[in-house]
Structure 1
Amino acid sequence: MGLYSEEISNISNRASENLFDFAIVDEKKAEQTGYSNYSYWRSTWKSFLENRFAVFLLIVVLSIITFVIIQPYLPYQKSPTEIYIDEQTGSQARNIAPNAEFWFGTNSIGQDLWSRIWAGTRTSLLIGFIVALVEVIVGITIGAIWGFSRKLEAPITQVYNIVENIPTTIVLILMSYILRPSISTIIIAMCITGWVEMARFIRNQVVILRDREYNLASKCLGTPSSRIILKNLLPYLISIIMLRMSLAIPFAIGSEVFLTYIGLGLPISEPSLGNLVNEGRVLMMSPDLRYQLIFPSVVLSVITIAFYIIGNAFADAADPKNHV
């Protein structure tokens, strides 16, 4: 029995020597962590590119933005505010149908509609982007503080209730009466109430996330509240932020069109999509002059629909739940 046990032990020792090696302690290797080349934004962009229609609309929007910026510097471009004279009659070139000289025709006082449409698009996009930027900055800041700080929750809620119950249309009308109608007036009027919806969305999401285990652990470790908001909470809200920002741009353009429709928009001398649509609306019953409504309406529709679809597609692609 003893010889048998000794033989088994010798076999085990030889197997151990052949199959296993003793681990050597290496402090440098112990400090090394696993490496991953995963990138959230690269993954988001890759997911967005899978939506072919959204990518196509993004190219269209970028092309329009690029064109409206460089359009005044291109050759053979006319002034959007100059009144042109018909050389044959010596009078204003009124309501001329699209031709080789006036690509989109002229309006009722002889201004070139092609240049006015792109100048108006430039104005409306400027308003939309500024309003969207202010809405995002103010809305995210107030919404994050509103949802995270229990001390400030009650006063911010009261401010929200006051602003939310004031109709946006009333604010736009009052600001247009108080201040001189201009681009800055419309921007200020839209920004007064524009942040409310964004702040409410952010607040609701922060309330859901703030008491999760990893945030409570961060608080116990003494992590500043600002860092918890920026690192732990807002990354989960990127999809909502992008969606709200993309919707703010067409909403601002639509509000400018509405103000012009009720007579409180930009001056007629300032080309905008609102002014152009309003001018064309008066002439829509005349078949020969409908082009003055069709051209600006098509540009307005393409921009608003494109931003809506792109915003939804990017929000889905940026949603952390869709990332592994």
Structure 2
Amino acid sequence: MGLYSEEIRNITDKSTEQLFEFAAQDEDQAEKIGYSNYSYWRSTWQSFLKNKVAVTLLILVLALVLFVLIQPYLPNQKSPTEIYLDPDTGYQARNVKPNEDFWFGTNSIGQDLWSRIWAGTRTSLFIGVVVAVVEAIIGIAVGALWGYSRKLEGTITHVYNVFENIPTIIVLILMSLILRPSISTIIIAMCITGWVEMARFIRNQIVILRDREYNLASRTLGTPTSRIILKNLLPYLISIIMLRMSLAIPFAIGSEVFLTYIGLGLPVSEPSLGNLINEGRVLMMSPDLRYQLLFPSIVLSFITISFYIIGNAFADAADPKNHV
């Protein structure tokens, strides 16, 4: 006990300057805080790269898109609408099998299938991308207001019920009958009801998120509604938005193929995958002419499957739960 008291006495005798050292004020050190170098998009991309199948398909799809854009400007390319003649007979080069001059052969009136397939792919991809973008814009806007604003919820619900109960196929058929069959007609017809599914998905997710604490705090502090939707809510829905957009592209292409199948699609003079598949379908029972159905079907199947796999992979990668 005496030894312990002696140690206390020795410590007490020491001056404050010997026991403590005052730190000098440093503004640079004061600015240094704990931080994380986490980046949502970088983590999403890193997670997506782990899916080798999706990455491979993405590269192939980008290569396909690049090729169909530059294909008309490559050397030795034929016109997709010109009717070619057989130099030996002077008649139309009908149903010529694939050879050195016609890489994919010709159709029943002597048009080059190689050029027509890539021209049709350009047309179908254009329709799919435009429809997907328009559906996303309308669907996100309507869904966000529908889910966040209680004042507009009843009105938008009635509008949704009207459009939801109109079969998309009926709208496509009526628009094709009312307006002249064209690319713009198909795009308008698909966009009339195409936004409904996107709006419903967005609305359901926003209803779940809108009353969380950080959103209540933002409203209490007077944050504008538009900023809450754009900054607090929509970033959580990136995966759903990307998935719906990726699925909208093959769906739009499939709808164009269906309309052509029932005779209400694009004019025959406008190359599209729908027109090419419909032309090949008529000849599918002839073994020598099945190539006219085979080539466009392979391109359509590749586009549809690729966008489906890429969309699902990116949706999973965009989920923050899968980030490290």
TM-score (normalised: structure 1): 0.95
Aligned AA (1:296): P
Q: Which residue of 1 aligns with 2:323?
A: 323
Over the matched positions of the two proteins, sequence identity in percent amounts to 81
* Cα distance between partner residues in 1 of 2:17 and 2:288: 97
State how far apart, in whole Å, the 1-side matches of 2:296 and 2:158 are.
41
| Partner Cα separation in structure 1 for residue 253 and residue 19 of structure 2 | 74
CA spacing shift, 1:16–1:273, aligned 2, 3 Å: farther
The answer to whether the Cα contact below 8 Å between 2:131 and 2:191 also exists between their aligned partners in 1 is: yes
Q: Is the 8 A contact 2:243 2:314 kept in 1?
A: yes
How much has 1:4 moved relative to structure 2? 5.6
**Residue 149 of structure 1 corresponds to which residue in structure 2?**
149
Residue by residue, what CA displacement relative to the aligned partner does 1:114-166 show, whole Å, maximum 9, x if unpaired?
A: 00000000000000000000011110010000000000000000000000000
Tell me the residue number matched to 2:286.
286
Q: Which residue in 2 is equivalent to 1:67? A: 67
Give 1:39 shift. Answer: 1.2
Residue 13 of structure 1 deviates from its aligned partner by: 7.4
The whole-number CA distance in structure 1 between the counterparts of 2:245 and 2:105 is: 35
The aligned amino acid for 1:146 is: W
* TM-score (normalised: structure 2): 0.95
> Does 1:314 find its partner at 2:318?
no
Paired position in structure 1 for 2:114: 114
SS at match of 2:151: coil
Counterpart of 1:302 in structure 2 is 302
* Partner Cα separation in structure 2 for residue 99 and residue 62 of structure 1: 27
Output one character per residue of 1:207-231: Cα deviation in whole Å (capped at 9) or x when no partner. 0000001100111111111111111
Cα 1:300–1:12 change in 2 (3 A) is farther
Q: Output one character per residue of 1:216-269: Cα deviation in whole Å (capped at 9) or x when no partner.
A: 011111111111111110010000000000000000000000000000000000
Q: CA deviation at 1:31?
A: 4.5
| SS of equivalent residue, structure 2 residue 72 | helix
For residue 41 of structure 2, what is the aligned residue in structure 1? 41
Name the aligned partner's letter for residue 146 of structure 2: W
Moved more, 7-16 or 268-277: 7-16
- Where does residue 98 of structure 1 map in the other structure? 98
Flag the 1:12–1:291 CA change in 2: closer, same or farther, 3 A.
farther
After superposition, the C-alpha distances for 1:96-124 in whole angstroms (9 at most, x for unaligned) are: 00000000000000000000000000000
Counterpart code for 2:166: I
Query: 2:158 — aligned with what?
Result: 158
CA–CA distance in 2 between the matches of 1:9 and 1:309?
77
The DSSP-based 3-state class of the residue aligned with 1:181 is coil
Structure 2 residues not aligned, in runs of 5+ = none
Q: Note the C-alpha offset of 1:23.
A: 4.2
1-structure distance, mates of 2:13, 2:143: 68
SS at structure 2 position matched to 1:281: helix
Aligned amino acid, residue 251 of structure 2: F
Q: Are 1:177 and 2:145 matched, yes or no?
A: no
Q: Which runs of 5+ in 1 are unaligned?
A: none
Q: Distance in 1 between matches of 2:226 and 2:41?
A: 23
Residue-pair matches, total: 324
The equivalent residue for 1:249 is: 249
Equivalence for 1:198: 198
- Map 1:16-35 → 2, pairs under 5 A: 21-26=21-26, 29-35=29-35
How far did residue 17 of structure 1 move? 7.4
**C-alpha root-mean-square deviation of aligned residues, in Å?**
2.0
Q: Report the alpha carbon displacement of residue 37 of structure 1 after superposing the two structures with TM.
A: 2.2
The one-letter code of the counterpart of 1:56 is T
Contact 2:47 2:323 in 1 (8 A): no
Amino acid at match of 1:126: F
Residue equivalent to 1:126: 126
Equivalences for residues 256-295 of structure 1 within 5 A: 256-295=256-295
Amino acid at match of 1:87: P
Structure 1 residues 186-205: Cα deviation after superposition (integer angstroms, max 9, x where no partner):
00000000100000000000
The 3-state SS of whatever aligns with 2:172 is helix
Name the CA distance, whole Å, in 2 between partners of 1:4 and 1:240.
69
